[in-house]
Amino acid sequence: MMSQDLKPITEIATQIGLSRSDIVQYGTFKAKIPLDIVYQQPRRAKLVLVTSINPTPAGEGKTTMSVGLSQALHRIGVNATAVLREPSMGPTFGMKGGATGGGASRVEPSTAINLHFTGDFHAITAAHNLLAALIDNELFHGSRLHLDPKRVLWKRVLDVNDRALRHIIVGLGGPGQGVVRETGFDITAASEVMAVLTLARDLPDLKTRLSKMVIASQGHDMITVADLGAEDALTAILDEAMMPNLVQTREQTPVIMHGGPFANIAHGCNSIVATEAGLRLSDVVITEAGFGADLGAEKFLDIKAPEANLAPDLAVVVVTLRALRYHGGQSLREINRPNLDALHSGMANLNKHLENLRRFGLPIVVAINQFPADTEEEIEWLLKELADHGVPAALADVFGQGGFGGERLAHLVMQQLDETSSHYAPLYEKTESLEQKIEKIVTSIYGGSGVDYAPAALKTLARLHTWGEDALRVCIAKTQYSLSDNPKLLGRPEGFRVTIRDIDIARGAGYIVPLAGDMIRMPGLPKDPAAYRVHVDDDGMVTGIE
Amino acid sequence: MMSQDLKPITEIATQIGLSRSDIVQYGTFKAKIPLDIVYQQPRRAKLVLVTSINPTPAGEGKTTMSVGLSQALHRIGVNATAVLREPSMGPTFGMKGGATGGGASRVEPSTAINLHFTGDFHAITAAHNLLAALIDNELFHGSRLHLDPKRVLWKRVLDVNDRALRHIIVGLGGPGQGVVRETGFDITAASEVMAVLTLARDLPDLKTRLSKMVIASQGHDMITVADLGAEDALTAILDEAMMPNLVQTREQTPVIMHGGPFANIAHGCNSIVATEAGLRLSDVVITEAGFGADLGAEKFLDIKAPEANLAPDLAVVVVTLRALRYHGGQSLREINRPNLDALHSGMANLNKHLENLRRFGLPIVVAINQFPADTEEEIEWLLKELADHGVPAALADVFGQGGFGGERLAHLVMQQLDETSSHYAPLYEKTESLEQKIEKIVTSIYGGSGVDYAPAALKTLARLHTWGEDALRVCIAKTQYSLSDNPKLLGRPEGFRVTIRDIDIARGAGYIVPLAGDMIRMPGLPKDPAAYRVHVDDDGMVTGIE
């Protein structure tokens, strides 16, 4: 998109009641909103959570739908803000390309956002790796703590898809070069610092959370950032990154983008300060949780919402006909081929997610994300099926038509916000045992019959009891493709048990991460990476990143 | 420094003739200058190169002197710009603290500049490491080139002092995780991408230089970035970072800060585009070359100046009494204790640097950087000694008194610029052989009697001849403490031979790096790192980084 089609960010700021001096400009089209400006007004907006059924590998277009819906709301006169996660640069050069929505529903300036944006990911990388350097320096000099190199939990991060860094040995080269030990790199979006930044309410809360992060587990002791004394240095590095970013849609409506934690191994939601900014500076906030409702929405409702004392007013569940067909047995290759029978069977997956969201007390709207290959017959069948079961639903073509293509959905969303009310409550209380919390998520949300723990997981649970850390929340890491922990069990699987092979501790974020399967924390590049399709002309015009 | 004492960057821009719409703002006090704005006017400024004698481990205060002199020039009515390197974040948390000058002669906002600034170092880190990931991905998939894992030269970088990353093994964890090989991390300031960015004239030149970088050396072949096809992706990542940054001094005068290559293993000068900006937007440019004149000035005059077709009008040589005493035999512990005899003997070091600069054809001014412990007797002796030998010199206390303390120096600099003219010529021609270029630097500049090559260096020289790369320039990596390759040979050593143990190839930068000694490319943290002395209060006020 050419920059002449965008408004200067100062004009976007005006739309949410902010003056030039209220914001911190980063170039002509990006700005940060200082936290005192965020919190100077009370919350006023309705909060709409956009989620989806279990996605196909191509995704359901939640970001595109969130952007399109916010554009559509502006078209019908509602002062809405899309509040979204910022993209990770690593995958941009890998398989998938950028993460700013698509077609006529995109966040701009998309190339800049997909690259460095305002440097938030770089700040997280720098803070995370300074801590790692301080830990290895402590192993080398041994002046503050008695760290055991075998018990260090803290790894390093980089925002690049680099599989060769997953498992490495550091400290080689002789006794002057450090202590030899095995460790590795995760991608920056998987850093606990990212999770902490997105859950912190303000700078003092950020510092407190950083100080709580566990860097090593030695016998009955946990060693934290506070024990090392590094929380101030990390906070200084993250100072600017704590401010949410203001950008715009293709239709020049406001977008607040901030934080980008993984949705399978972390909570997958934008930052609390970004949501607060939207709630205080506009009338309707459209926000997105990662992957399907079993991962993203569950974590939004059981982690982010209680941490921030938020109550969503409505859930929008994005479905595509191709994903329903896929859950109904159509092969991945043929998901674009019409098939009413498969569609019919695939409804089981959607219905389970709708049941789950109702259990959380949320009113629901289903948004059908229209694709060119969809037939009228299938669409009509789906709309009738949902109407027969009393589920409000609307078809939207926001990719092809932008806000115009989402007007019906926008009207339906506003109608539901007026006519229904949310009775949101989280699934569990913090006071319940860790095992009970895990059990509830697996049985109530995933539909499983129970949980099995591998020995490593049991050992961590025992350690957490010893440390008195039972009040942590639970952020299960599992595949996004199935309600179960097996990516091949599509539709609505039942009777399955979920195996927790190990448990990570994200004490600064306030949760544990039970690992249900092998989660990749550092993606690799494909055989033909997107990096080779980028082009820069002599005037600096970049194409191939969007 | 409190931000209320600074001018908005738009006002600083006005001082160099730029409007709000000419610059790209990064917050209230930082901006970037687009390259088309840089090049839209002709060069007009005089160019003053600030260098020094061989420093003590505490440094000679070149940055402080450069900032102070530019402030002083403004006080006497000259529209001067300080054009400087930007600091590296890694060392900020290690031993030395920030790198924005000191006392009353500092670049502001110093904390922000010492941390992320406008993200240039992060962009270089990201580009460098994307290339590394593409190389390891190529080893893994083997689809484009036939790379031999043993012959890969390209390492990774991070802007952190982390000795444990110097020598690592990557690709562990089984056949799905990559190819096992030994490699390592350098600090970002040591990246060839940094050198390339600082020597590139514009984006097309940047892309060309990136494409020339050598990633592997296999038998008679060199494998380059162009062979991989990654130059466009790297250029896209560096797009914004190519623009020079505009900030201000404590006395609200303009500073252009851009690029920060190491001065021992790289050329150690700010970017060519930054120098161009200063030359085209002000009347006098004060620029600094790293370390002593044997390293920084030699590289400025033999690499940067010919690459950019620049001719410095004057060299300012910074000396401190304590460094002269040190070169005269005073122990490091006692360098602050007055000692006229030591001072007298230490002059040998200064005299050699003055001879060298005259050989390059430059008029010279000596700037005596005053310290509280200096006695009047010593200062008077030094001023008289220099006057007796016809060397223009001035005492300056810019640390304590800012521009006011540098006024005498400023008048002297302006007088010399008016009355003398430069007959600058580089030491060697590109057409001379690589060995001849090295020999000239060692004998003419260092004062050595000859060069010895270790077998690895001879092998690389032979390879360079095979590749037809004899026209590369020479960027010798050696200790900054001595004119020789032995940090303990102070004063003006003679009769020494310099041993080149190996040679690195920086083909994108356009030079080879003969290694005279063990250069550290990834610093470590000290026993008590500066990171632990940082403090952030509840309002986000950061102290301990300046």
Could you report the per-residue pLDDT of B258-289, keeping only the tens digit for each? Answer: 999 888 788 999 999 999 999 999 999 999 99
- Report how far residue A46's alpha carbon sits from residue A49's, in angstroms, rounded to the nearest whole number: 10
> Which of A270, A303, A194 minimizes the C-alpha distance to A238?
A194
Contact B546, B116 (CB under 8 A): no
Which has more pLDDT, B263 or B436? Answer: B436
CATH class label, A120-229: alpha beta
Q: Which residues make Cβ contacts (< 8 Å) with residue B440, sequence separation at least 6?
A: B427, B428, B432
pLDDT (0 to 100) of residue B42: 98
Q: How far apart are CA B299 and CA B289, in angstroms?
A: 8
Q: Does A525 sit within 8 Å of B134, measured CB to CB? A: yes
pLDDT in the model for residue A59: 85
Identify the architecture of domain A434-516 in CATH. Roll (3.10)
User: Is residue B10 within 8 angstroms of chain A, CB to CB?
Assistant: no
For residue A100, give every residue at least 6 positions away whose Cβ sits within 8 Å of its Cβ, in sequence order, or none.
Answer: A63, A87, A106, A107, A108, A110, A113, A114, A546
pLDDT for B15-52, tens place per residue?
A: 999 999 999 999 999 999 999 999 999 999 999 999 99
- Does residue A227 register a pLDDT over 90? yes
Q: Tell me which of B128, B165, B546 to substitute to probe the interface with A (most A C-beta atoms closer than 10 Å).
A: B165
The residues in B 149-178 lying below 8 A from A, measured between CB atoms, are 158-173, 176-178
**Residue among B278, B208, B236, B342 at smallest CA distance from B66:** B278
Q: List the structure tokens of B125.
A: 């880190």
Output the six-digit token pair for B467.
Answer: 């590749």
Q: Which residue of A has its CA nearest to B180?
A: A164
* Span B443-461, pLDDT tens digits: 999 999 999 999 999 999 9
Contacts A–B by Cβ distance under 8 A? 218
In angstroms, the separation between the Cα of residue A5 and the nearest Cα of chain B is: 17
CA gap B49, B279 in Å, rounded = 13
Q: What is the pLDDT of residues A410-457, one digit of tens each?
A: 999 999 999 999 999 999 999 999 999 999 999 999 999 999 999 999
| pTM for this predicted structure | 0.97
Helix orientation angle between A340-359 and A376-388, rounded to the nearest 10 degrees:
40
Q: How far does the CA of residue A228 sit from the closest CA of chain B (Å)? A: 9
Q: Å from B247 to nearest chain A CA?
A: 15
Euclidean distance between CA atoms A476 and A13, whole angstroms: 37
List Cα–Cα distances, A37 to A19, A23, A236, B146, B184, in angstroms.
11, 8, 20, 55, 44
**What is the least distance, in Å, from the CA of B481 to any CA of chain A?**
22
Strand boundaries in B154-267, DSSP class E: 156-158, 168-170, 181-183, 185-187, 214-218, 221-224, 245-249, 254-257
pLDDT higher than threshold 90 for residue B236:
yes
CB-CB under 8 Å, B542 with A239: yes
pLDDT for B122 equals 98
B63 assigned to a ligand binding site: yes
The reported pLDDT for the residue numbered A144 is: 87
Query: Which residue of chain B has the CA closest to A202?
Result: B538
Most B-contacting residue of A205, A209, A237 (CB-CB within 10 A), to test interface: A237
Using the beta-carbon criterion (under 8 Å), do B171 and A178 form an inter-chain contact? no
B-chain CB neighbours of A230 within 8 Å are: 531-532
Whether A110 shows a pLDDT value over 60: the answer reads yes
Interface test with A, best of B163, B183, B545 (most A CBs within 10 A): B163
d(CA A166, CA B220): 33
**Structural tokens at position B179:** 């190819």
Residue A133 has pLDDT above 90, yes or no: yes
CA B171 to chain centre: 34
Q: How confident is the model at residue A2 (pLDDT cuts 50, 70, 90)?
A: low
Residue A215 pLDDT more than 60? yes
Measured in degrees and rounded to the nearest 5, phi and psi for residue A175 equal: -65, -20
Q: What is the average pLDDT across B397-416?
A: 98
| Contact state of A525 with B137 under an 8 Å Cβ cutoff | yes
- Does B333 contact A at CB distance below 8 Å? no
Interface test with B, best of A28, A37, A165 (most B CBs within 10 A): A165
- Count of H helices and E strands in chain B? 20, 25
pLDDT exceeds 80 at position A4: no
Q: How confident is the model at residue A220 (pLDDT cuts 50, 70, 90)?
A: confident
pLDDT at B262: 86
Nearest to B239 among A126, A137, A540 (CB): A540
DSSP state of B171: S
Q: Which residue's structure tokens are 């460095």?
A: A116
**Closest to A165 in 3D by CA, of B45, B136, B347, B158:** B136
Write the DSSP string, B3-30: GGGSPPHHHHHHHTT--GGGSEEBSSS-
Residues in chain A closer than 8 A to B171 (CB atoms): 163-164, 167-168
The terminus-to-terminus CA distance of chain B in angstroms comes to 9
Closest by alpha carbon to B242, among B195, B206, B217, B214?
Answer: B206
**Is A240 an 8 Å CB contact of chain B?**
yes
Nearest to B236 among A115, A133, A232 (CB): A115
Q: Find where tokens 């055991």 sit.
A: A148
Spell out which residues of chain B touch residue A143, defining contact as CB-CB under 8 Å. Answer: 527-528
Residue among A143, A168, A527 minimizing CB distance to B143: A527
For the cut 90, the answer to whether the pLDDT of residue B427 exceeds it is yes
Return d(Cα B448, Cα B450) in angstroms, integer.
Answer: 6
Residue B518 exposed, middle or buried by CB count within 10 Å (0-12, 13-18, 19+): exposed
| Residue B515 confidence (pLDDT) | 96
Q: Is A525 on the interface with B (CB under 8 A)?
A: yes
pLDDT at residue number B99: 83
**CA B52/CA B288 separation, integer angstroms:** 9
| Domain-wise residue ranges, chain B | 3-119+241-419, 120-229, 434-516
For residue A519, what pLDDT is reported?
Answer: 85
Residues 205-224 of A with CB under 8 A from B: 207
Distance from the Cα of A12 to chain B's closest Cα (Å) equals: 17
pLDDT at B4: 58
Among A32, A93, A236, select the one facing B536 at the smallest CB separation. A236
Q: Note the pLDDT tens digit of each residue in B112-161.
A: 999 999 999 999 999 999 999 999 999 999 878 989 999 999 999 999 99
Answer whether A136 touches B (CB < 8 Å).
Answer: yes
Q: Using DSSP bridges, classify how beta strands A245-249 and A221-224 pair: parallel, antiparallel or unpaired.
A: unpaired
Q: Where are the alpha helices (DSSP H) in B239-390?
A: 272-281, 298-299, 305-308, 321-327, 340-359, 376-388
What's residue B297's pLDDT?
97
**Can you give the pLDDT at residue A262?**
86
**Candidates 3.40.50.450, 3.40.50.300, 3.40.50.970, 3.30.450.80; CATH matching A3-119+241-419:** 3.40.50.300
Are A289 and A269 within 8 A, CB to CB?
Answer: yes
Q: What is the rounded average pLDDT for all residues in chain B? A: 95
